[in-house]
């Protein structure tokens, strides 16, 4: 006999099965009938489409005018060299957005992806071939590695690369596979519940669990736009406002006065961040996503927040958060 419900059943079980370093299964259950696919399908799309990776976006090869050229002493044509280069998966060590690297090889040598490793970047599939050089060969090239999501064709990158460089199709997505299956599961003799099993594999730029949690974060951010619906009928859900701004003063310190290094300050300034309170309102991942903010700058900003009493355990009340957002918007108009 079907019981009357006033809310859908909340899943209670979740687990991770690490199949290998780059592959994992994530399981969650039990879901009401129909809820599993409602959640699993958009999550799969976000895992594939919003996971951040690194890819070469341009290359300049000394002695080559275009991608159909060839280099004296190199067995591969430039077109084959470019295909090999695009298959190499990089990681920028300081988590920057873009980096330019110069390489030089000469003499008899089998150049592989591993030979591109240095203090600035890490190659995660170092066994891939890049070029085969003869005794009299000399290969000099400059490659630009960029951070991004999804796929960007070379035609869309021509305005971003140097005129004498060759624009490359950029395959940023670090996820090789993201599948899910939905199976029935029994709950108190009721077979009308479901279990989701995600099967995620990456190329080692990021781990499969990180790809999944990033997708969850993106989904939460996208859904947060609907928080504004609460403001449509203010009379129905009134928000209490503080009568003065005294409680907000610690948050309204200018970033000019925080004693940050020039690199950290410039990154915040370019992002339009003027007040300490804006950093307090941001999550750690949102701060990490600030353009050109490397690991050292991130550590410096984290230390600055702690010094001002805003460590990772600090939480704003809903009222203070609403008042702070409104005040900052007023000051920046």
SS (H, E, C) the chain: CCCCCCCCCCCCEEEEEEEECCEEEEEEEEEECCHHHHHHHHHHHHHHHHCEEEEEEEEEECCCCCCCCECCCECCEHHHHHHHHHHCCEEECCCCCEEEEEEEEECCEEEEHHHHCCCCEEECCCCCEEEEECCCCEEEEEEEEEEEECEECHHHCCCCCCCCCEECCEECCCEEEEEEEEEEEEECCEEEEEEEEEEEEECCCCCHHHHHHHHHHHHHHHHHHHHHHHHCCCCCCCCCCCCCCHHHHHHHCEHHHCCCCHHHHHHHHHCCCCEHHHHHHCCHHHHHCCCCCCHHHHHHHHHHHHHCCCCCCCCCCHHHHHHHHHHHHHHCC
Q: What is the pLDDT of residues 96-117, one digit of tens each?
A: 789 999 999 999 999 999 999 9
Whose tokens are 């979740």? That residue is 14
246: confidence class by pLDDT, cuts 50, 70, 90: low
Distances in whole angstroms, Cα of residue 169 to Cα of each of 77, 87, 291: 18, 11, 22
Residue 268, C-beta contacts closer than 8 angstroms, at least 6 positions apart: 255, 260, 279, 290, 293, 301
More confident of the two residues 331 and 72:
72
More confident of the two residues 319 and 32:
32
**Contact indicator for 93, 105 with CB cutoff of 8 Å:** no
Of 2.170.120.12, 3.60.21.10, 3.40.50.150, 3.40.630.10, the CATH number of 52-171 is 2.170.120.12
Diameter over CA atoms, the chain: 84
| Topology adopted by domain 242-331 | DNA polymerase; domain 1 (1.10.150)
Residues in the chain: 333
More confident of the two residues 43 and 294:
43
- Mean of the per-residue pLDDT values of the chain: 87
Domains in the chain: boundaries: 13-51+175-222, 52-171, 242-331
Q: What is the pLDDT of residues 61-83, one digit of tens each?
A: 999 988 889 999 999 999 999 99
The confidence score (pLDDT) of residue 2 equals: 63
Structure tokens at 29: 């259950």
The confidence score (pLDDT) of residue 270 equals: 84
Q: Which CATH architecture fits 13-51+175-222?
A: 2-Layer Sandwich (3.30)
Distances in whole angstroms, Cα of residue 223 to Cα of each of 42, 218, 300, 329: 12, 9, 31, 22
């Amino acid at each position: 006999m079907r019981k009357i419900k006033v809310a859908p059943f909340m899943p209670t079980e979740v687990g991770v099965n690490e199949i290998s370093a780059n592959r994992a299964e994530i399981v969650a259950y039990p879901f009401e009938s129909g809820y599993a696919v409602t959640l699993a399908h958009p999550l799969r799309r976000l895992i594939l489409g919003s996971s951040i990776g690194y890819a070469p976006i341009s290359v300049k090869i000394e002695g080559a005018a275009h991608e159909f050229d060839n280099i004296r002493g190199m067995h591969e044509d430039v077109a084959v060299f470019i295909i090999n280069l695009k298959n190499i998966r990089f990681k920028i060590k300081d988590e920057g957005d873009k980096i330019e690297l110069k390489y030089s090889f000469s003499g008899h040598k089998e150049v592989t992806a591993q030979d591109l490793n240095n203090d600035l970047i890490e190659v995660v599939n170092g066994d891939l071939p890049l070029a085969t050089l003869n005794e009299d060969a000399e290969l000099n090239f400059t490659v630009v590695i960029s951070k991004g999501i999804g796929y960007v064709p070379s035609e869309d990158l021509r305005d971003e690369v140097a005129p004498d460089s060759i624009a490359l199709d950029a395959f940023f997505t670090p996820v090789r596979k993201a599948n899910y299956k939905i199976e029935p599961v029994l709950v108190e003799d009721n077979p009308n519940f479901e279990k989701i099993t995600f099967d995620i594999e990456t190329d080692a730029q990021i781990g499969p669990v990180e790809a999944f949690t990033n997708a969850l974060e993106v989904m939460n951010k996208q859904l947060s736009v609907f928080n504004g619906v609460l403001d449509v009928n203010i009379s129905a859900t009134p928000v209490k406002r503080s009568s003065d701004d005294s409680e907000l003063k610690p948050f309204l310190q200018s970033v000019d006065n925080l004693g940050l290094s020039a690199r950290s300050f410039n990154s915040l300034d370019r992002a339009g961040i003027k007040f300490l309170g804006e950093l307090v309102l941001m999550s750690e991942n949102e701060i990490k996503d600030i353009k050109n903010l490397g690991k050292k700058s991130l550590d410096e900003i984290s230390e600055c927040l702690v010094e001002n009493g805003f460590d990772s355990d600090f939480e704003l009340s809903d009222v203070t958060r609403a008042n702070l957002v409104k005040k900052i918007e007023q000051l920046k108009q």
